[in-house]
Structure 1
């Protein structure tokens, strides 16, 4: 080796070492360790530690390797034996409804008509005459007993009207698909007197006003008939909208929810969310569905999807409400209701509009998400989706059209979800709440062959997006997880669960709240699992909900929520 070559070699080695020394090593801003961490990543289902840099996951693996990413600024969070998963995703809810549920009368836990009357009576004392009293959450099928006067399975307004003669009252059913008005509210809406002697119901397109044997309104406004009352209720103020928005974020944090699929928003809500994002207050990840009014949809077809690079507020889907709810007997069925012969529920949106929207959605890159609870509504929507996909030569395309709820299916339609690549967004908690009385609506055969068919759908090859439909049900994801794996009521009955062969495994249930929910929003590459490069959103629990005895799952609590790399909620002892 010549001296010249030797010197050149030394220079190159020194240069290389100097370059390596000057190369800036990546350090984590936070290292989380000390508990069981479920990643929902099939390549490494559990890890010892996670390193994040600001809002992104830098590393997931062993604690020893994680420590290589520390410097003097790195914050350590010791889980102290607790359990962590990816941040939970509410796969179908109503964000502003969640917030307003905190401001209005919450009737979710009422167990009788008298409970409603008592709650309204207290509210009357604190209200000015003429001020509207609003609430939500009652469900007559969950009451301990029914009042003496019942029409078509519903209470009548008289007790409510007696205790609130000067304040109009409107109380939404838990499902949101019916409402209960007192005499003052009906008077304002022009519905206080005899409708027509001898008729049994006052039908309007997509709904009905239930009347008594003499043709007098009972106070129950079903499905689209609710608009008769709604249009007289004063609009929300900007101040209460912001208050409700902030309350909804707080509720999400307490429940470990870091992302939210908002199932149907208006132009006013879009404006509010834009305002909150501009002000730096959109501290949740909202995947929004446009409420399916033609004017709003045409505006967005022109603009195209809005995919937020900050991952805070994205609009790329459309929500169509195609039938009602089972509790109000508005779900659209192939055969009549067992407990209301001759009644099939309601088609609340023309199926031609579903087909037209599916075509325009495919043309303009919008996902279409259609509310369907009854077996006929599900079949009709699958038919319209299939027709549109064939017309556009897009069978097999990655459109990710969804059916929201998909609660009651004809057995012939179950495999069609996988065949058409349609995602069922199903809220497991509805089984816990509804199954004890749903059998009265549908009868045993329809229940066993087609109700809440989670495992059959999963085995057919489609993911399930889970959630709660808040404020229809409380936001609590632990209750929905428990329903997913047990198929029991929240009181733990029946012992083996309803139709136990349809239970999800715990891995399937966790995935339905994380990675599969992210997939349902085209976001599986940025969230839903704890993997390098994904967003730093996590949920921490007081116990291991993946291994604890089934009868202890409901004792699981959210003890910490990390959003965008920051601790946003910590349960106080």
Structure 2
């Protein structure tokens, strides 16, 4: 029988204000009612939860005795939820070399050299964000390009999607990489015509280098994670699904939760590659009494990414003959991991980007469903990026949630059709087709792969354009969503994907009072300007965790 008992960690409230009655009035508020966005004018909060919603100002009882705050006519939405991010990666990216939007490999090397000169004591030089698709020639970079400038210290630079890494010769020397080093299962060492490693490593081959880089300590995580979560709160996020954490990060989150040091909520997925994975599963799901920390899902990698040609396809890549990408695990092995997780009461979230990866993941979930008895796990496919058209109806049929990142479409539009060709692209980033087949999409960003701002994702979902309004009518515009649908991805749907729709993702009596205040109304602003919307305040459990100093609500 699946383990269904959740471990409830009882926490004391650290904020006396949560017991206070509070009314915020004069709002341009929106909530979901019968699957439609409805307006309201005031919200009544008690002990961190919503006590009542008033759709008209005249409905506010004159006898209310608590604190009143004037909402100044600002737009209020339910707290935004990112259904797929990497919080530790986000924290570390702020401390490493920024290579996003580098114009060429030479530009990237220049940034590494400048970073080295500013940090002479660092033993390893690490960075992230390069994307060869945006460079002249679109070729993978080489160690020789780095060696010309940096020979004495190891360099390790992750591609923007995190599924390829670029090393210099010093790093490869430390790792013992030579022409005789075999490709690991589920990974590829890029080689020259003579079989020598060039310095680029794909998917599981990245571990050959990264295992030699010292991990950050638990104490460093305890410092970095709250800072990262506070930065995310500034973007309007009240909850994040952390997609793949190891046992040390589990310990860090539990410590922070016990000390009331989590500024926003975390729904964490245990990493299937962690050495203590089995022990973490046996410990069972973990949920704090105040819902700030939930650990009852797992993240399993199945394939790589499209940009590095690691995504597993049924047929060869259109721009690389006889290459179909990589499965990081044999399907039978992944099925056993998934069974193990489900048997302990965990939701299973499988990373799958290519059409073969998605097909195989759906096959695994079909088998899991047969073992699940009456318990509904709402298993997920993280990314669901390229899907065979005949697989699209299977998501709803199997009750599988496509956890997708709309901004990937506008980032990948410069290379996706080159990789897939004109037919397979019809099942890629296919939000409208999935919704038309009754799938419930959860929205995320995959930060730090992409910016964490949820309104970037809303804009991409609605316009299928980049921030320069290209292409003019949107990239494959038949897949566009409405503003109402796009906002649901980052509110109710994301909460539903975590079994939290009865307490998060909407503004209803009994829900936690998690909400954001905005400088513009997303339903009335020009659609091409959705990404420009600014968050003026973020509240979690009835208290502000971020406020612009000039826009604090006025007391009455």
TM-score in terms of structure 1 length: 0.89
- Contact 1:208 / 1:223 at 8 angstroms: preserved in 2? yes
CA drift of 1:81 comes to: 3.0
The 2-side partners of 1:240 and 1:213 are apart by 43
Equivalent position of 2:304 in the other structure? 324
| Equivalent residue for 1:140, pick from 126, 132, 147 | 132
Q: Give deviations 1:55-110, integer Å, cap 9, x for gaps.
A: 10111113333354632x504142x2321100000100111111111111122232
Q: Does 1:532 align with 2:525?
A: no
SS at match of 1:134: strand
**C-alpha distance in structure 1 between counterparts of 2:62 and 2:452, whole Å:** 39
Cα-to-partner distance string for 1:157-198 (whole Å, 9 max, x where unaligned): 22212222212110111111111111111111112x5x15xx
Deviation at 1:302, TM superposition (A): 2.6
Q: Does 2:251 correspond to 1:271?
A: yes
Q: Deviations over 1:546-567 (max 9, x none)?
A: 2211122122111111112111
Contact 2:246 2:274 in 1 (8 A): no
Partner of 2:53 in structure 1?
60
Aligned to 1:187: 173
Q: Note the 1:224-303 alignment, pairs <5 A.
A: 224-293=204-273, 296-303=276-283
When residues 70 and 163 of structure 1 are mapped into structure 2, their CA distance, relative to the original with a 3 A threshold, is farther
Deviation at 1:129, TM superposition (A): 5.9
* Mapped pair 1:346 → 2:326: yes
Aligned residue number for residue 33 of structure 2: 41
**SS of 2:33's equivalent?**
coil
Distance across 2 between alignment mates of 1:276 and 1:289: 17
| 1:475 maps onto 2:468 in alignment | no
Q: Report what 1:542 is aligned to.
A: 519
d(CA) in 2 for partners of 1:486, 1:44: 20
- 1:379-390 equivalences in 2 (<5 Å): 379-390=359-370
Q: CA RMSD in A?
A: 2.0
Distance 1:397 1:276 in 2: 31
Contact kept? 2:125, 2:154, Cα under 8 Å: yes
Quote the Cα distance in structure 2 between the aligned partners of 1:27 and 1:66: 20
Structure 2 contact 218–248 (Cα < 8 Å) conserved: no
Output the CA distance in 1 between the equivalents of 2:301 and 2:288.
26
1:361 matched to 2:341: yes
Unaligned ranges ≥5, structure 1: 1-25
**Distance in 1 between residues matched to 2:482 and 2:151, nearest whole Å:** 52
Q: Deviations over 1:501-552 (max 9, x none)?
A: 2111111111110011000000001111000010011111110112211122
C-alpha distance 475-411 of structure 1, shift in aligned 2 (>3 A): same
- SS for the counterpart of 2:288 is coil
TM superposition score normalised by structure 2: 0.91
Contact 1:481–1:509 under 8 Å retained in 2: yes
> In the aligned structure 1, how far is the partner of 2:416 from the partner of 2:37?
41
Q: Is 1:92 equivalent to 2:72 in the alignment?
A: no
| Cα deviation, residue 202, structure 1 | 5.0
CA deviations 1:319-348 (Å, max 9, x no partner) are 100000001100000010111111100000
Cα distance, 1:135–1:67 mapped onto 2, change above 3 Å: farther
> Secondary structure of 2:73's partner?
coil
CA distance in 1, matches of 2:400, 2:432: 16
In structure 2, the partner of 1:21 is none
Corresponding position of 1:9: none
**CA–CA separation in structure 1 for the residues paired with 2:176 and 2:279:** 34
SS at match of 2:523: coil
Give 3-state SS (helix, strand or coil) of 1:424's partner: strand
Deviation at 1:294, TM superposition (A): 7.4
Distance across 1 between alignment mates of 2:403 and 2:183: 30
More divergent stretch after superposition (155-164 vs 461-470)? 155-164
* Bigger mean CA offset, 263-272 vs 556-565: 556-565
Q: Distance in 2 between matches of 1:75 and 1:94?
A: 37
Partner of 1:76: 69
1:212 equivalent among 186, 192, 197: 192
CA change 1:294–1:128 in 2 (3 A) is closer
Deviation per CA, 1:480-502: give whole Å up to 9, x if none: 00011111122211111122121
1:12 corresponds in structure 2 to none
Q: In the aligned structure 1, how far is the partner of 2:241 from the partner of 2:499?
A: 12
